[in-house]
Structure 1
Amino acid sequence: MFKIMLIEDDTTLFGEIKTRLSQWSYEVYGVSDFGRVLQEVHELGPELILIDIQLPQYDGFHWCRQIRAHSNVPIIFLSSRDHPMDMVMAMQLGGDDFVQKPFHFEVLIAKIQAILRRVYDYSTERVELRSWQGATIEFVKNLVTLQDSSVLLTKNEMLILKILIEHKNTIVSREELIRSLWDNEHFVSDNTLTVNVNRLRKKLEPLGLEKYIETRTGQGYIATEEVDL
């Protein structure tokens, strides 16, 4: 059974979500102290986190930033706020998805299932290492190393990079990437992919690799690498 931490201060909504997720055999845990969210995440070790933006003491953005400094656990934001910048901020801070309240539970469960399937099936893949532009890509560790420098990617960032370098020097359409990351493109904003790709490039900047992830307007993205003849 997967453990899900639901960081939500609305007790009624918390109870409704917990009841529905329990029917799908997920173990759902809440937060006892909203000033110790990071510590409680570490103590529980959840496989996925659902987090509201508006929380007591510190907002969900703050806690996402704190969690991402220590863990790559998948994070889905829940929010009644509908400003596009909220979604952009959530993704830039390391969120894996964003669900706006009020939501249909079927949409939430579809997103949860897609992320868990992608993250925890993906982590068992046999191929662990790949070379690209002189860098070593460690899929299981979500690590990119070039010479003496390394950067740690989130699951989504690594999956995007994995798909692109498996098709290096070939354009991968936005639709293909969205299907690979989120299974059902009908539930995903096109801007979500853009934010994730931009975040990947930002992570690769210290290694000087960001310029090799190119946008082909109206087509998709391409990871370039010179081919020895």
Structure 2
Amino acid sequence: MFKIFIVEDDAKLVSLLKDFLTKYEYEAYSVNDFVTVLEQFEQFEPHLVLLDVNLPKYDGYYWCRQFRKTSTCPILFVSARDAKMDQVMALENGADDYITKPFDYEIVLAKIKSHLRRAYGSFAINQSDWTLKVNGLVLDVERLELRLGEKKVELSHTEARILEELMNKAERVVTRERLLGKIWDDQMFVDDNTLNVYITRVRKKLAQHNIKDALQTVRGKGYQLKTNWGKEG
């Protein structure tokens, strides 16, 4: 049974969400003390998190960063704040998706199922010892790591899927549509700006290996991973 961790201070909404999730055979746990959120998260060990932005003590962006220090589980923000910047901040802080209130429970369920499939189910990248290598750069899709020499950089599931596609087709253009199809199987609910945010995050992960300007935007088409890092001239 998949475990869903709910960080929301609206008691009525929490009750409705827990009833709905229980109906579909998920184990739902809601935070009861907003000072010890991280401790409850670590004790419950969820497969997925539903997280609000406006919370007592610290906001959802803060807690998302804390979760990401120890976990790569899918994190979905659920918030009444619908400005583009709120959604960008959520993704920049480590979230996988953003749902605005009021929401349709069936859409929430579809997104939960989609992210669980991607992380743990039929679409999960969990093949044993499955790695991709391009010019010394190693993507370990099982451990969610990007390695160059002895240095390791941790990835989210979504960042790993984007890099998987780009490294598989290194030096070739990968269309935005292909990346969206690779990452999300519920594209009708995806804001196109979401991909821009993830591309920025992938560039930052590459930059941690001192690989800069390798992931290029091909205007009107998509993205291309150049592989000439570390080469002189």
Please list, as runs of the form range in 1=range in 2, the aligned pairs for 1:1-229 lying within 5 A after superposition.
Answer: 1-121=1-121, 122-126=124-128, 128-225=130-227
Aligned partners of 1:198 and 1:138: how far apart in 2?
Answer: 20
SS at match of 2:213: helix
> Are the equivalent residues in 1 in contact too, given 2:167–2:225 (CA < 8 A)?
yes
> Are the equivalent residues in 2 in contact too, given 1:50–1:77 (CA < 8 A)?
yes
SS at match of 2:152: strand
> Are the equivalent residues in 2 in contact too, given 1:111–1:182 (CA < 8 A)?
no
> Are the equivalent residues in 2 in contact too, given 1:88–1:192 (CA < 8 A)?
yes
Range with bigger deviation, 47-56 or 61-70: 61-70
Which residue identity lines up with residue 30 of structure 1 in the other structure?
Answer: S
Aligned alpha-carbon RMSD (Å): 1.3
Q: Tell me the TM-score normalized by structure 1.
A: 0.95
SS at match of 1:6: strand
Cα offset for 1:184?
A: 1.9
Cα offset for 1:127?
A: 5.4
1:29-88 superposed Cα distances (whole Å, 9 cap, x missing partner): 011211011111111100000000011111101101111122211100010011111000
Cα offset for 1:126?
A: 4.3
Gaps of 5+ in 2: 229-233
Which residue identity lines up with residue 201 of structure 2 in the other structure?
Answer: R
Aligned partners of 1:112 and 1:55: how far apart in 2?
Answer: 22
Which residue identity lines up with residue 222 of structure 2 in the other structure?
Answer: G
Cα offset for 1:174?
A: 0.9
> Are the equivalent residues in 1 in contact too, given 2:2–2:27 (CA < 8 A)?
yes
Aligned to 2:231: none
Aligned partners of 1:151 and 1:126: how far apart in 2?
Answer: 19
Q: Give me the identity figure in percent.
A: 39
Gaps of 5+ in 1: none
Which residue identity lines up with residue 48 of structure 2 in the other structure?
Answer: L
> Are the equivalent residues in 1 in contact too, given 2:88–2:194 (CA < 8 A)?
yes
> Are the equivalent residues in 1 in contact too, given 2:52–2:78 (CA < 8 A)?
yes
SS at match of 1:214: strand
SS at match of 1:207: coil
SS at match of 2:147: strand
1:85-109 superposed Cα distances (whole Å, 9 cap, x missing partner): 1000000011000000001111111
